[in-house]
Structure 1
Amino acid sequence: MEFNRLGLTPIVIFNLIIWLFFTLAYFYQIVYVVRVLFRGTVTLPKAKKQHRYAFFISAHNEELVIGNLVRSILAQDYPRELMDVFVVCDACTDSTHEEAEKAGAIVWDRNDLARRGKSWALDYGFDRILNEYGDKYEAFVVLDADNLVSKDFISVMNQAFDAGYLVCTGYRNSKNFDSSWVSAAYALWFMREAKFLNNARMMVGTSCAISGSGWMVSERIVRGMHGWDFHTLTEDIQFSTFCCANNVQIGYAPAEFFDEQPVTFKASWTQRMRWTKGFYQVFFSYARDLAKGISKGRFASYDMLMTVAPGMILTLLSFFVNATYLIVGSLSHGFIATQGEL
């Protein structure tokens, strides 16, 4: 009775619990935003050495864009002899091989139709580079075929690597911000991810997360893992979670590269569904490891758990509970729900 007098009916209490959970769980991201607004962009120390890098690109029928990416990599303000570009043509049926080779890349063909995809191409490419080139390269930089890199991309990334970060993510900008409202929304999302998540994480000394492309991994990490063993639908977030679970800190470098975003809602829906399924795969595989990290006082483990946690399930549950209450309450003519509640 006291609860009713305060207006705390069952549906109000349910909604308060949901609100309280999300607010407490993600309040730290508001702290991130405030930190960035006052501190701006992280400043990396000047590199003492220019390291040697292998750029890796997995491509499937990308003849229209692959040459542009390879040329943008080789045109950077970094010594040409310290970087090579490797392209794995993954079951290509067009002229991707010829276009990549013409632009200056080392090109390999891979035609394993049973295990096609970026994660399998990474495993193949890393293994072959390590076997054929030994320890020539100190780190790998992974890009997608439709990317472009800024002139100073690897110079900025080199600062983070020289500072001791064995894994590092860059600043993801968009090639087609104004193509549609969908591409604009994606561009804003990734700018927010770079500036107000990874940039903030770097400032407070916690671990970042790699996302899609534009990231770097040390040769020592890949060799230690004996290749690339991340084959969920979101191998990038799986690797980030693996690093977090094993206390490998991922850094952030404001090394700018440009990515092409989906233009139609249908394409976005398909991609987001794949990402959602991949996040669930990662959550159920690594939740226990992240919980252990939290118990040891690692904030990065909590941050990553909140990143992969199935919050959408709770959101949908809340929506359906409220919708059901609204419909049934309306039909009950005040028996189940009062007009004030409705």
Structure 2
Amino acid sequence: MKGLKFTDYIFLFSLISIWAILLINIILAIGGYIYYLKSLSFKDEKLNEYPFVSILVPAHNEGKVIGKTVESLLSLDYPRDKMELIVINDNSSDNSKDILQSIKDRYGRYNFTIINTDNITGGKGKSNALNIGYQKAKGDFIAIYDADNTPEKTALRYLVQTIVRDESLGAVIGKFRTRNKHKNILTKFINIETLSFQWIAQAGRKQLLGLCTIPGTNFILRRTTIEKLGGWDTKAIAEDTEISFRIYKMGQRITYVPQSVTWEQEPETINVWLKQRTRWVKGNIYVLVKYIKNLFKGKQNIVLFDILYFFSVYFLFLTSVVLSDIIFVLGIFKIIEINVPFNFFVIWILSYVLFILQVSITLSMEKGEGGLENIFLAAIMYFSYSQMWLVVAIKGMIGYFSDAIHKREAKWYKTERF
């Protein structure tokens, strides 16, 4: 290693970081595949008696999608007398109120409540809307769906059947799929990303570490759990990750049921995608900062891997990918010279192949998703979609620390619907 220059050390650091994350993800992908194989033996074992469940749907200016969502929820395969639907129409300025009232008039026999808030009681983000909703809820269990969701008819029942049978569970999460995946190349990328995340980060962590985190939709909580927690943290714009950490801190568990499926609309333009993902990054930084202070106290040690993993994926991996790509391209054109004592081109190619391999493993677990088109798209994602995450990470970090310095409350950005 004698005689190495600064660029050589940066390149080595980037390669080591990339390989570390890719190897961890490969291990998680294998764990996810084992979980997938186990899930094939899933049986729809119905309960003799079903508990009363309150379904909460926070909605702000969701006129384009809320009608389809509400009608799909009212059509769930769940005993009607054991289910209530509460839509929190949170300070909407569009026609959401009229659409919701029209559906309520048509479904008069159903237990369907609309809570309309104004700019005083509402308009403060998803966490606040959920707190308003659960305080009105009557169920022993609270299920959450986003306003753009079309859950499959069995989605809720599978969640309920799982949580009822295991007292150690504070929450049970299902799977979400991309409803508009064929819209354009961006939604195709998002479809691959979300499937990979769920089989690697959710199923893989669950299989190997007994750990998974609540997504923003298609999950169920015990009412006693949310009451002990005191509701959702209104300062958290990544409320799903934040409440997951608190559930683990209580000593309760979360499990993943991929048979429970909901279909959701994903961003169809780069601008909307950037805003949504930037909010995610800001929200996760808030959670990291909040929990890093007491990392080794109490029962939340299990989330140590989560903190390190998401930090690595959001920042270390993305930064390393871009740095290695820049140095690699500059080296190809002889602008700079790499003096590492091995064939860095081969190492770089192998890391690229490893990325495609981990994505391919996850796609193979979903019917119709493991074809050549998606594998080709995964190969393109490495150079395009993955690189875009660096912009998101930078914007999110700047936004978070700017808010902290100026003591501004984090502003909730509602994803634009199409």
TM-score (norm 1): 0.81
Partner SS state of residue 229, structure 1: coil
Asked whether the 8 Å contact 2:206–2:212 carries over to 1, the reply is yes
What is the deviation of 1:231? 2.7
1:1-342 mapped onto 2 (5 Å cutoff): 3=2, 10-11=9-10, 13-15=12-14, 17-19=16-18, 21-22=20-21, 26=25, 28-36=27-35, 38-41=37-40, 43=42, 46-48=45-47, 49-104=49-104, 105-112=112-119, 116-129=124-137, 136-164=138-166, 165-204=169-208, 206-253=210-257, 254-292=259-297, 300-315=302-317, 317-318=319-320, 319-320=322-323, 323=326
State how far apart, in whole Å, the 1-side matches of 2:325 and 2:65 are. 47
State how far apart, in whole Å, the 1-side matches of 2:183 and 2:329 are. 39
Number of residue equivalences: 328
Q: 1:287 to 1:31 in 2, by over 3 A?
A: farther
Q: 1:3 to 1:35 in 2, by over 3 A?
A: farther
Compute the RMSD of aligned alpha carbons. Answer: 3.5
Q: Structure 1 unaligned segments of length 5 or more: list them.
A: 130-135
Asked whether the 8 Å contact 1:123–1:227 carries over to 2, the reply is yes
State how far apart, in whole Å, the 2-side matches of 1:312 and 1:145 are. 27
Asked whether the 8 Å contact 2:143–2:218 carries over to 1, the reply is yes
State how far apart, in whole Å, the 1-side matches of 2:23 and 2:184 are. 34
What is the deviation of 1:332? 9.2
Alpha-carbon deviations, 1:233-257, whole Å to 9, x = none?
Answer: 2111111222233332111122111
What is the deviation of 1:123? 1.6
1:132 corresponds in structure 2 to none
State how far apart, in whole Å, the 2-side matches of 1:155 and 1:333 are. 59
Q: 1:4 to 1:251 in 2, by over 3 A?
A: same
> What is the letter of the counterpart of residue 307 of structure 2?
L
Partner SS state of residue 309, structure 1: helix
State how far apart, in whole Å, the 2-side matches of 1:255 and 1:30 are. 20
Q: 1:137 to 1:185 in 2, by over 3 A?
A: same
What is the deviation of 1:34? 4.1
Asked whether the 8 Å contact 1:280–1:308 carries over to 2, the reply is no
Asked whether the 8 Å contact 1:44–1:160 carries over to 2, the reply is no
Asked whether the 8 Å contact 2:11–2:323 carries over to 1, the reply is no
Alpha-carbon deviations, 1:276-306, whole Å to 9, x = none?
Answer: 121111112113444457xx896x4244224
Partner SS state of residue 68, structure 2: helix
Q: Structure 2 unaligned segments of length 5 or more: list them.
A: 105-111, 346-418
State how far apart, in whole Å, the 2-side matches of 1:169 and 1:42 are. 18
Asked whether the 8 Å contact 2:330–2:336 carries over to 1, the reply is no
Alpha-carbon deviations, 1:105-146, whole Å to 9, x = none?
Answer: 3111111368521111112222233xxxxxx41111111111
Q: Higher RCO, 1 or 2 (CA under 8 Å, sep at least 6)?
A: 2
State how far apart, in whole Å, the 2-side matches of 1:250 and 1:24 are. 25
Asked whether the 8 Å contact 2:29–2:204 carries over to 1, the reply is no
